[in-house]
Amino acid sequence: MVKLLNLKVKDEVYEILSNCKGIIMPEKRLDFVDLSLGGKNNMVFEVKYEVEGKGEVVEVIVTRCKNGIVVNYTDVYMRRRDPDSLIIGDDGETDKQRYKDIYGDNFEAVRKETFEWLKKQELIVYGFYAGGKEHGYPALVIAPANAAFFGFALADIQGFIPKSEFEKIDVFEPKAVIYVAPPFRHTHFNGKQVVVHNRLNGVHEIFSYNLYPGPSAKKGVYGVLLNIGEMEGWVAAHASTVRIVTPYDNVITIMHEGASGGGKSEMCQQMHREKDNRVLLGENIITKEKIYLEIKESCEIHPVTDDIALVHPSLQKGSKMVVKDAEQGWFVRLDNIPHYGTDPQLERLCIHPPEPLIFLNLEGVPGSTCLIWEHTMDEPGKPCPNPRVILPRRFIPNIVDEPVEVDIRSFGVRTPPCTKQKPTYGIIGMFHLLPPALAWLWRLVSPRGHANPSITQAEALSSEGVGSYWPFATGLMVKQANLLLEQILQFTKTQYILIPNQHIGAYKVGFMPQWITREYLAKRGNVKLRPDQLKPAKLPLLGWALEYMKVEGTYIPKFLLQVDLQQEVGEESYMEGAKILTEFFKKEIIKFKTLDLHPLGRKIIECCLDDGSLDDYVSLIK
C-alpha cells in the first residue's frame, strides 16, 4: 500500500485511501500506458462495471497501437461533451442548476455513496497543479484503476506529480479533488454525463460520473480556476494563443477566444494547402466556384495556449494582457483532418510521436498505427464529429513556455451558409474590427454557432454563455461579466477582431479566414488598419468591415469582406441575417441587466437594446 503521509485532506478522504483495495501512484508517464490496458501484454482492454439492474456494462474499449492507446466509447452519446453536464452540489452562490433542484434531495447522500464505492476499488491516486506549478493550485485525483486511461488523459492535460517527487513534498494540501465513479451514470443519472461540483471550505470537489474527459478532467479543472478567479478577481480566458513570426522576423501575438468549435485549436495549426501548394480560400456552395490564393512563404507558428489562457494578476505588467498556458497538454479535435496530407505537421507528430499518445473516437486496430483521419463511425457512413488526440505541450514544435503579451484578441464564430433562399447569420466577412464595447458584448453572448462538432446540441443558434466558458463556471454570470469588462478596461493597447469559420455567405471556407487573417496581420506588423480600409458594417454589432485586404500581392475578393455584395446573398438576405443576430443578442444580454452589473456594462447593454450605432459603441470606451 502506498503511504500518503504528507497528504493534508479531510478525514473522509483518508478513509477512502485507507480502506480501498490498493493504491497505484504512477512514477512516470509511460506507466499509464500499461495501466490503461490492464497489463503489459494486453492489446485490447474493456473498461467495464457491474451495474445494479443492468448487469455488466462496457463503457470503453481501449486498444494498444504502435503510436499510443485508442479509446472508443460504446455509447455514441459519450463521444461528445454534454453542455449541461455541470451540476452544483453545494449551497454557495451560483446561477447554475443545483443537484437538489433537479433530484429533489441534497447531494450529500450520493457523495457518501460515491466514497463507499471508491473504498471497494483499487485506485489510481496522484497530485497535480491546476493551472500549472508556478501559478496554479494543488489538486488530487482519485479514480478506479481499471479506468487508468482517464487518469492518463487527465495527467497529460493537467500534468501530474511523479510518486518520488510527491513523497518529497512536506505537506500537500489539495484545493481541488477529482473523484471518478463511472457506474453512477447508470444507477443515479439515467445514463447522462454528470459532473457535480461541490465547493466546500478550502476544497473544490469534482465528482465525475462519466469517463469522457471533456467535462471533468479538462473543463472540470477549468471550473476550479474560474471559481478561484471569481473569488480573487481575475479570469482564465477560454482561448488559444499563438505567437506568429513572419519571414522578416516581425512578431505578433494573437489570442483567439470563442465557444467550443470556434477555432481555438485551429489557430495554433498550420494553414492547410492543396497538393499543388495553393491555398483554397473558399468554394461557392451553389456555383462550386473555387477561390485560390498563392502564399509562397507562411509565417512560423509558435503556439502558446490551446484552450485555457491564465490571465493571472501576478503576470500582468502593463497595458497589454500577459498570458501563460494553464494546461500541460492539449485536447485537440481532428474532425478537420479527413485524409492524409491535410496537416503534415500534425500528422507527423501523431504517427511518429516521441512517446505513445492517447487518441479518442478513432479507429484502432491492435498493433497497427492509429491514423488521425480514420474516425470512428457513429453509425454506418456517419463518422464521429469529435475525434481527438491529447498532445503534451512538450511534444509540440516551437512551443512557447514563457508568458507572452497579447497584441490582438480575436473571437471566433461558427457560421452557416447564407443565401437568398435561406438567409442566416452567416453574414460575417473575412474579419471585422471591433471597438472594445462590442468586443465585450460578443464575449457576453458567445454564439455557439453552426454544426458544433465538440458537443451534443440542437442546430438552432445558441449561446455558450458569458466568456464562452460559462458551461464550466460554477458561480454568478454577472460577476464573470464584470470581470471580463474590467479586463477589457485594464488592457487598453489591445485590438479586437471578429472572425467567422465554416462559411462566409455562400462560400464554404472552413477555418481559412483565421489562417489568412493571422498571416495578414502578422505580415503588417503592429501597424493599425487605416481609416480608408475600414467601413462601418451594415450591422453595427459587426463593427467595421474591410474595404480591401491584400495578401501576398493578391486582393481578397470584396464579397468575402462584405457579404451583402455576394450575388447569392444580396442586401435583403444580409439584413435578414442581421435581424437574426440582433434578436439573438437582445435575448441573451437582457439577463445581465441587474443591479450587480458594472455601470458601464449597463450602458453598453442599453446601447444594444436601443439599436445603437457603431459610433455609439465607440464612444462608450475610449
Do 189 and 315 share a structural domain?
Answer: no
Do 226 and 148 share a structural domain?
Answer: yes
Contacts of 288 (CB under 8 A, 6+ apart): none
CATH number at residue 228: 3.40.449.10
Does the residue 517 lie in any domain?
yes
Q: For 40-78, what is each residue's pLDDT tens digit?
A: 999 999 999 999 889 999 999 999 999 999 999 999 999
Does the residue 364 lie in any domain?
no
As a three-state string, the secondary structure of 289-353 is CEEEECCCCCCEEEEEECCEEECCHHHCCCCCCEEEECCCEEEEECCCCCCCCCCHHHHHHHHCC
- Phi and psi at 482, nearest 5°, equal -65, -40
Q: Identify the three-state secondary structure at position 486.
A: helix
Do 179 and 33 share a structural domain?
Answer: yes
Q: Identify the three-state secondary structure at position 357.
A: strand
Looking at the structure of the chain, the number of domains it has is 2
Contacts of 24 (CB under 8 A, 6+ apart): 2, 35, 122, 123, 124, 125, 145, 148
**Pairwise CA distance, residues 541 & 514, whole Å:** 19
Do 436 and 412 share a structural domain?
Answer: yes
Per-residue pLDDT at 454:
59
Do 168 and 278 share a structural domain?
Answer: no
Q: How far is CA 498 from CA 58, 447, 501, in A?
A: 44, 12, 10
Does the residue 433 lie in any domain?
yes
Q: Identify the three-state secondary structure at position 88.
A: strand
Q: For 376-432, what is each residue's pLDDT tens digit?
A: 999 999 999 999 999 999 999 999 999 999 999 999 999 999 999 999 999 999 999
**Pairwise CA distance, residues 573 & 362, whole Å:** 40
Do 157 and 259 share a structural domain?
Answer: no
C-alpha cell recorded at residue 412:
471566433
Does the residue 65 lie in any domain?
no
Please say whether the beta carbons of 333 and 260 come within 8 A. Answer: no
**Pairwise CA distance, residues 97 & 101, whole Å:** 7
**Pairwise CA distance, residues 521 & 239, whole Å:** 18
Question: Among 213, 233, 253, where does a domain finish?
Answer: 233
Q: Which residues of 345-356 are buried (b: 16+ CB within 10 A; e: fewer)?
A: ebbebbeebeeb
Average pLDDT for 597-608: 98
Question: Among 233, 250, 279, where does a domain finish?
Answer: 233
Question: Among 233, 257, 282, where does a domain finish?
Answer: 233
Question: Treating both helix axes as pointing N-terminal to C-terminal, what angle do 477-490 and 599-609 enclose, rounded to 10 degrees?
Answer: 100
Least confident of 2-6, 123-127, 197-201, 354-358: 2-6
Do 303 and 191 share a structural domain?
Answer: no
**pTM listed for this prediction:** 0.94
Contacts of 438 (CB under 8 A, 6+ apart): 496, 540, 541, 543, 617
Per-residue pLDDT at 401:
95
C-alpha cell recorded at residue 442:
460578443
In the numeric block, the cell 500537500 is attached to: 172
DSSP string, 487-542: HHHH-TT-EEEEEEEEEETTEEEETHHHHHHHHHHHHHTTPPPPGGGEEE-SSGGG
- Phi and psi at 26, nearest 5°, equal -65, 145
Q: For 162-194, what is each residue's pLDDT tens digit?
A: 999 999 999 999 999 999 999 999 999 999 999
Q: How far is CA 422 from CA 282, 415, 416, 457, in A?
A: 19, 13, 10, 21
Per-residue pLDDT at 459:
52
Instruction: With cut-offs at 50, 70 and 90, classify the pLDDT of residue 456.
Output: low
Q: Which of 533, 577, 587, 528 is nearest to 555 (CA)?
A: 533
**Pairwise CA distance, residues 122 & 139, whole Å:** 20
Query: Does residue 458 carry a pLDDT above 60?
Result: no
Contacts of 348 (CB under 8 A, 6+ apart): none
Instruction: With cut-offs at 50, 70 and 90, classify the pLDDT of residue 248.
Output: confident
Percentage of residues of the chain with pLDDT beyond 90: 90
Query: Does residue 1 carry a pLDDT above 60?
Result: no
Do 560 and 480 share a structural domain?
Answer: yes
Does the residue 57 lie in any domain?
no
CATH number at residue 277: 3.90.228.20
Per-residue pLDDT at 320:
95
Do 294 and 247 share a structural domain?
Answer: yes
Do 241 and 229 share a structural domain?
Answer: no
Does the residue 74 lie in any domain?
no
The one-letter amino acid code at 608 reads C
Query: Does residue 3 carry a pLDDT above 90?
Result: no
C-alpha cell recorded at residue 620:
462608450
Q: Which residues are 251's β-sheet partners? A: 245
DSSP string, 26-80: -SSTTHHHHHHTTSTT-SEEEEEEEETTTEEEEEEEEEEETTEEEEEESSGGGGS
Helix H or strand E segment including 280: strand 279-284
Do 244 and 225 share a structural domain?
Answer: no
Instruction: With cut-offs at 50, 70 and 90, classify the pLDDT of residue 260.
Output: confident
Do 245 and 177 share a structural domain?
Answer: no
Q: How far is CA 18 from CA 24, 145, 169, 181, 587, in A?
A: 13, 16, 20, 18, 52
C-alpha cell recorded at residue 156:
497529460
Q: For 578-596, what is each residue's pLDDT tens digit?
A: 999 999 999 999 999 999 9
Contacts of 349 (CB under 8 A, 6+ apart): 391, 395, 396, 397
What domain range includes position 92? 11-43+81-233
Does the residue 99 lie in any domain?
yes
Does the residue 360 lie in any domain?
no
Per-residue pLDDT at 497:
97
Q: For 483-502, what is each residue's pLDDT tens digit?
A: 999 999 999 999 999 999 99
